[in-house]
Structure 1
Amino acid sequence: MNWNSISRKCVAVRVRTLLAGAALTLLAGAAVAQDCTPKISDTLLTTAGTLTMATSPTLPPMAFADQNGELKGLRIDIGKEIAKRLCLKPEFVSTEYATMIPGLNGGRWDLVNAGLFVTPERRKILMMIPYENLAISISTAIKSDKAVTKLDDLAGKSISTDIGGYDEKKMRELNEDFKKRGLPEMKISLFDNYATVYQALRAGQVDAAASIDPVAKEYQDRGEFSHALTGLYPTPGSLAFINKDVAEAVSGAMKAMKADGTFDKLMSQYGVLPAPGDLSVLPP
């Protein structure tokens, strides 16, 4: 993996936060109020005094950039709250899903805050905290002449989804099922993020798009696409880590959020159901 290539793809978006009534400074290492002691040692962090999180701001309402370039969404709010409780400054690095795990392994960021699906393959190499209950949706054009009301309606159609993700895996498994049953396979087009997944549908390059439920609902609510199928292949979405101490500290912050109602309030605000479990770290 060429880290210079990854660096060119990543755009750091710094977010300033207020802690205990004292403004955070812009100086490296002076990220927290003096009466708040960081819960994670600087030696474990990518940048001293900062919780650096990889995210993909292409998934409204989960994570997206507004017209002013400011990051918004559930995952951004969750990340800010975790950092505040750890007495650290939050920093979000916008990157593609393909770079997230290699970047985590290479020390480019402290965690992946992009709702990575919990899979057996990922659990072999990552520590994960499941917190979102996610499922796959199928979107179509509003006035599509190729109706999709059940999975078998996708046979022989073209579909876009994100490369290397859970969605791609399930669409390929569905193709295998179609093949075994003598149905025509889908033509799967892969893209780096959900923004381009939906752009392909918008441009008429594909008949349907596979994404996650909250994203598909957001696009339908905007009047852009129809939410044809929902709730497919549900599985938890997570925060992901390499370092156990960092993972346990974040887990502690999330459990405190759960205890005082902050966690459930944020999830409800964005219409996302919590994943089963108590926000503990799943070991690799």
Structure 2
Amino acid sequence: MTYKALKLSFVFTVGLASAAVAQECSPKIDDSLLTEPGKLTMAVSPTLPPMAYAESDGTLKGLRIELGVELAKRLCLEPDFISTEYATMVPGLKGGRWDVIDAGLFVTEERLKILYMIPYENLAISISTSVEGAEISSVEDLSGRRISTDIGGYAERKMRELNVDFEADGLEPMDIALFDNYATVYQALRAGQVEAAVSIDPVAKLYQETGEFTHALSGMYATPGSLSFDNLEVAEAVTAAMQEMNEDGWLPELMGTYGVSQADDGEIRLKGPNL
């Protein structure tokens, strides 16, 4: 990750919610393990309403923001959110720029070799089209079309794998346009630069509810989304807090509010190297 990329990130607080978590209790993670003493620093991508997004005044909202605030509260820390692109998240974590990736990184075998991950949200890939655009009712209908998705993510990987399948079946591959985040993925669709946008179910569902796009396909290649860490002790402390909020009902209620199902049948487990 370049210095320029970091400079283009913005640190957000969550208004009064941040002050509310400054409780008189002992932090459950030692300052020596944290990016900033007394703070849980989390990388987010606020471009995915309703999962994480920024209002016009910079206030962060969404499922992952509420989760991050509650985690910090239970750990007796102050929540700090850093907005950044997905491509910078793992390098930034490895470089000590943040403590947690709170962006629903898809759990893959490759990532589990280098990251500690807590799968908690069940996500699947969706296809969106313009309301009067391409008729897409099956995966095969994507053949030969120009599509947009986020660079370096699970969706890009699955679309490239689908292209291999298309070519093996004698079908024309998709022309895949890559963008830094889902906001620009959908901007490309809005501008007519692509015929379909590839995102995740909650994002595509929300865009359909606004009436701007059609949620053409959903539930594709379902896989867990996670909180991700580089430090095992930090990961274990967060896992304990997640298990607590799962057992007392806070986490299931949050997930239900956003219409997102829990991964791993609702069990909270830490996964990663040698675990």
1:171-199 residue CA offsets vs partner (Å, 9 max, x unmatched): 00000000011101100000000000000
Aligned amino acid, residue 204 of structure 1: G
1:9 and 1:102 mapped to 2: Cα distance? 15
Give 2:27's match in structure 1, choosing from 28, 38, 48: 38
Secondary structure (helix, strand or coil) at the match of 1:33 reads: coil
Aligned amino acid, residue 32 of structure 1: A
Q: Is 1:241 paired with 2:229? A: yes
Question: Structure 1: where are the runs of 5+ without partners?
Answer: 25-30
The structural deviation recorded for 1:243 is: 0.3
The structural deviation recorded for 1:16 is: 4.7
1:1-284 to structure 2, matched below 5 A, reads 1-2=1-2, 4-16=3-15, 23=19, 32-34=22-24, 36-144=25-133, 146-276=134-264, 278-284=267-273
| Deviant stretches of 4+, over 4 Å | 16-19
Does the 8 A contact of 2:15 with 2:59 survive in 1?
no
2:15 and 2:197 mapped to 1: Cα distance? 35
Question: Structure 2: where are the runs of 5+ without partners?
Answer: none
Aligned amino acid, residue 157 of structure 1: R
Does the 8 A contact of 1:16 with 1:90 survive in 2?
no
Does the 8 A contact of 1:32 with 1:49 survive in 2?
no
Of the structure 1 ranges 131-140 and 270-279, higher mean CA displacement relative to structure 2 is found in: 270-279
Aligned amino acid, residue 219 of structure 1: Y
The structural deviation recorded for 1:17 is: 5.2
2:272 and 2:259 mapped to 1: Cα distance? 28
Aligned amino acid, residue 33 of structure 1: Q
1:56-105 residue CA offsets vs partner (Å, 9 max, x unmatched): 00000000011222100000000000000000000000000000000000
Does the 8 A contact of 1:197 with 1:209 survive in 2?
yes
1:49 and 1:222 mapped to 2: Cα distance? 40
What TM-score comes out, normalization by structure 2 length?
Answer: 0.96
Aligned amino acid, residue 103 of structure 2: A
Secondary structure (helix, strand or coil) at the match of 1:130 reads: strand
Secondary structure (helix, strand or coil) at the match of 1:245 reads: helix
Does the 8 A contact of 2:146 with 2:177 survive in 1?
yes
1:231-251 residue CA offsets vs partner (Å, 9 max, x unmatched): 000000000000001001001
Aligned amino acid, residue 151 of structure 2: I
Q: 1:205 to 1:98 in 2, by over 3 A?
A: same
The structural deviation recorded for 1:18 is: 5.7
Aligned residues: 272
The structural deviation recorded for 1:283 is: 2.0
Aligned amino acid, residue 213 of structure 2: F
Does the 8 A contact of 1:157 with 1:186 survive in 2?
yes
The structural deviation recorded for 1:9 is: 2.1
